[in-house]
Amino acid sequence: MAALGGDGLRLLSVSGPEPEPESAALNGAGPGLCCWVSVCSCLSLACSYVGSLYVWKSELPRDHPAVIKRRFTSVLVVSSLSPLCVLLWRELTGLQILFLGPLMQLSMDCPWDLADGLKVALAPQAWARCLTDMRWLRNQVIAPLTEELVFRACMLPMLAPCTGLGPAIFTCPLFFGVAHFHHVIEQLRFRQGSVGSIFLSAAFQFSYTAVFGAYTAFLFIRTGHLIGPVLCHSFCNYMGFPAVCAALEHPQRCPLLVGYVLGVGLFLLLLQPLTEPRLYSSLPLCLLLDRTGASATSLCS
């Protein structure tokens, strides 16, 4: 049922009407609402390019061969990652806005300055350690890819013709939430808390994984790609649940709380424009419903 090749891990290799020209897709009111996001993203990319030149601490002038070689390396890395930045902008911007508060908190508590942080992020040794860390591979790569494939790409095509797209968004995450109850077995086995606290934690985990599952199901239907949900899943696994209590006790509590509230507000405001289906060409689930005679909802337009 699922054809996992092609651009962005297409769900189904079904044919449909020709996509609208890109210029027509970008003329809608929805994308216009997030032009400032595009401008800020371009500014960030420009700052990354220039900032990479200054990652290397050196007293030598810019025309020295050693400085030129190091800067060659920096700009080549940034240039190579730029297409990935475009992909991340398209798929992750909404979720990063939602996590504005936690991201501010993370940056405030980070012991590194910008230059040291870039060095760590771009260091091959750091990535090599990540790729040999089984927990990192599980949380950032294997779990997001396999869970989104099973619980979104495979379940939604089976549920949607039966329930419709809207109900499927809220039904599919229930399977995803219940699947996380298996952690209770291990926690009871290794006595990682009282029975009551373990089941309370499991109920809380079910709640937020179900909400997250509804978001990624919505994202999958609106974009027609699996790569967006996978990236969002990996990002959320890295960030964890927002530490709201720690933010309330933080020395810079006021700007953090503003960041939290602003992030939630902007996320809700930009959720529809940033997932405008016309930006993502064909929508396999909507085409599937058309073929089965079911009515596609406003989620497809």
Write down the catalytic residue from 22, 59, 148, 180.
180
Distance CA 116, CA 4 (A): 38
Q: Strand, coil or helix: what is 290?
A: helix
Q: Provide the token pair at 112.
A: 């590194």
Q: In angstroms, what CA-CA distances link 279 with 14, 99, 213? A: 18, 23, 22
Write down the catalytic residue from 22, 91, 147, 276.
147
Distance CA 152, CA 94 (A): 19
Q: Which residue has the tokens 């992909």?
A: 87
In contact, 229 and 152? CB cutoff 8 Å: yes
The answer to whether residue 91 is catalytic is no
* Number of Cβ within a 10 Å radius of residue 238: 12
The answer to whether residue 180 is catalytic is yes
Cα-Cα-Cα-Cα torsion 256, 257, 259, 264, nearest 10 degrees, comes to 150
Q: Catalytic residue positions?
A: 147, 180
